[in-house]
Structure formats: structure tokens, C-alpha cells
Amino acid sequence: MAIYFCESSALVKRYVHETGSDWMLTLLAPHVGHSCYIARITGVEVVSAITRRTRGGDITATDAVSALAQFRQDFVTTYRIIEITPALIVRAMALAETHALRGYDAVQLAAAVEVNVQMHTLGLPTLTCISADGALNAAAGLEGLAVEDPNTRETGRQT
């Protein structure tokens, strides 16, 4: 069992078929038993991404309704949610400044760093941050996180 932090650009691949979707579905299949942490703001970002893809014609309205329903269920029952606290925002502001990240990317990274600190406190291995955003992946690596980009993974292969 591994511990992952999934950023929105990667997590949406579990609900909308695109490059990296097969790998994400395999990695996060319930029977595999991995833990997946997400920032609370990921809920808004994934809903937004699915809705925008529908309006852009990339997915049908029927597929969007199904994807949104599945995501909302998983949001409540599957993922471990990291709350957006004042301390997390302070960390995010520092990360935004250090790495020149976009606002929500800095919040995502701050949440991942927070989980990683908790894991190390418990003597667990370094958290793996899963993101399809190159700038965020580079910053996560510089912050000491292991990084996976689902856009570069082969179908069915997992770590």
C-alpha cells in the first residue's frame, strides 16, 4: 500500500478519459488499497474541469453527469481530505513566492507538503505527489516529494 497526494490535473483523469486515465484508474482502484489524499479545493477544481470539458465539447453531457456523480461520491467516501487552514495558506503563500506557482497550485503543493510532514512524523516513507502540471511537479520535487506525472505513464503500470 502506498500513500499518494493527487492534484486536480491528475485526479480528473480518473473521471474523464484522456492521456494518463488508464494509469490513474489502475493506481486508484479500490482493491489496490492505496491511500489518496487531496486538498479540499480539489473538489471545486475537478467539478470545474469536467464542466469545462463538457461545454467545450470534449465529453458528452451524459458522460459529464456520470463523471460528476462518481466524483462527488468518491469525494465523500474515498479520498482523505486536507483542509485549507490558515497555516496551510501561509505555507502556500511561501511556496508561491519560492517557486513562482499559480495560486491554487501553491495551495495544492502546500497540502501535499503537509501530508508528507505528517507521514515522516509517523516514520512512513515520502509521499508521492501525482500531478499532470510540469511546474507543480518541479516544485514538488524541490520540496522533497516523490513525483509522478500520469501523462508519462503507460497503461496499467503502477509504482
| pLDDT tens digits, 92-123 | 999 999 999 999 999 999 999 999 999 999 99
What is the rounded distance in angstroms from the CA atom of residue 101 to the CA atom of residue 159? 27
Contacts of 68 (CB under 8 A, 6+ apart): 15, 47, 50, 51
CATH topology of domain 3-152: Rossmann fold (3.40.50)
Give the pLDDT band of residue 154 (cuts 50, 70, 90). low
| pLDDT tens digits, 73-87 | 999 999 999 999 999
Residue 78: Cβ within 10 Å count: 15
| Domain-wise residue ranges, the chain | 3-152
Beta strand 35-39 with 128-130 is unpaired
* Alpha carbon distance, N-terminus to C-terminus of the chain: 10
What is the rounded distance in angstroms from the CA atom of residue 36 to the CA atom of residue 112? 11
What pLDDT shows up at residue 1? Answer: 82
What pLDDT shows up at residue 159? Answer: 41
| Residue 152 near residue 23, CB atoms below 8 Å | no
- Can you state the percent helix, strand and coil of the chain, rounding each to 5? 60, 10, 30
With 0.85 as the threshold, say if the pTM is over it. yes
Kindly compute the dihedral angle of the four CA atoms of residues 100, 101, 106, 109, in this order, to the nearest 10 degrees: -100
| pLDDT tens digits, 1-37 | 899 999 999 999 999 999 999 999 999 998 999 999 9
